[in-house]
C-alpha cells in the first residue's frame, strides 16, 4: 500500500480527499528480494459513510 500511495497519492486524494475509504491492493513482488515492484488497485474504492 505504501508504494501505491507514493505513486498514486494525487489520484487517490482526488477520489476520496480526507474521507475514510477501503480497497484491495494487488502487489507483484520480486522473487529474489521479496520487494514490491508493482502495486495497483484490485477493487474499486469503497467510501465509508460519515457518522
For residue 3, pLDDT beyond 90: no
Task: Give tens-digit pLDDT for 10-43.
Answer: 888 899 999 999 999 999 999 999 998 888 999 9
Q: Cβ(24)–Cβ(41) under 8 Å? A: yes
CA atoms within 13 A on the CB side of 49: 1
Contacts 24+ apart (CB under 8 A), 7-10: 7/39
**Would you state the pLDDT for residue 9?**
86
pLDDT band at 44; cut points 50, 70, 90: very high
Residue carrying C-alpha cell 467510501: 47
**Would you state the pLDDT for residue 42?**
94
Amino acid at each position: 500500500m505504501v508504494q501505491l500511495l507514493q505513486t498514486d497519492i494525487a489520484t487517490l486524494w482526488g477520489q476520496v480527499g480526507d474521507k475514510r475509504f477501503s480497497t484491495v491492493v494487488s502487489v507483484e513482488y520480486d522473487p529474489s528480494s521479496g520487494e514490491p515492484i508493482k502495486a495497483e488497485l484490485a477493487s474499486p474504492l469503497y467510501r465509508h459513510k460519515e457518522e
